[in-house]
Amino acid sequence: MRIGLALEELHRSENHLAHQLLAVAERHKADHEVFHVGKDLATWSQDHVRRLAPFGERYGVELDPEPAGESTLLGKLSEAVSDLLGRRSAPSLLLLRDLRSIFIHAQGVSVDWEMVAQVAQGLQDAELLGLAQRCHPQNLRQARWANSRIKESATQILVS
């Protein structure tokens, strides 16, 4: 069965989304909503990573139950370069870019949850299906938050 591959991708994607949300929260500390909501939404993805881990063993893959920690040196360097490039343009443009990236990535995670839910249903794995039914709505909320922030900010940022 290849469900292990789907679980690995979902696990990786949730880890990445959590990291992205935390990085954006830190990068935009001055925007209190982005800072606080971004951190809260990241905890959802971190929880999803923990909850997914036991299913890896069931389907022949090893999934670390602990969310990915601090950025690697390369990741930190990439963020620093990104920040420097962002300072050349307005910080608000960087925020739009960051929100767009979160939205796109959250949508990808949503597709992963859909696939896992469909497979769980086909395999009659009630526990995995239940996990998807608990976690997917939170993931959709992450995407809606990013999208609503884009809608709220885009005109003002791009017209001024």
Q: Which two tokens stand for residue 140?
A: 């959709």
Predicted confidence band of residue 88 (pLDDT cuts 50, 70, 90) = very low
3 state SS of 95: helix
Cα dihedral 2, 6, 11, 12 in deg (nearest 10):
100
- Out of 2.60.40, 1.20.1260, 1.10.10, 4.10.410, select the CATH number for domain 3-159: 1.20.1260
Q: For the segment 94-149, what is each residue's pLDDT rounded down to a tens digit?
A: 999 999 999 999 999 999 999 999 999 999 999 999 999 999 999 999 999 999 99
* Percent above pLDDT 90 for the chain: 81
For residue 59, which phi and psi values (nearest 5 degrees)?
-115, 25
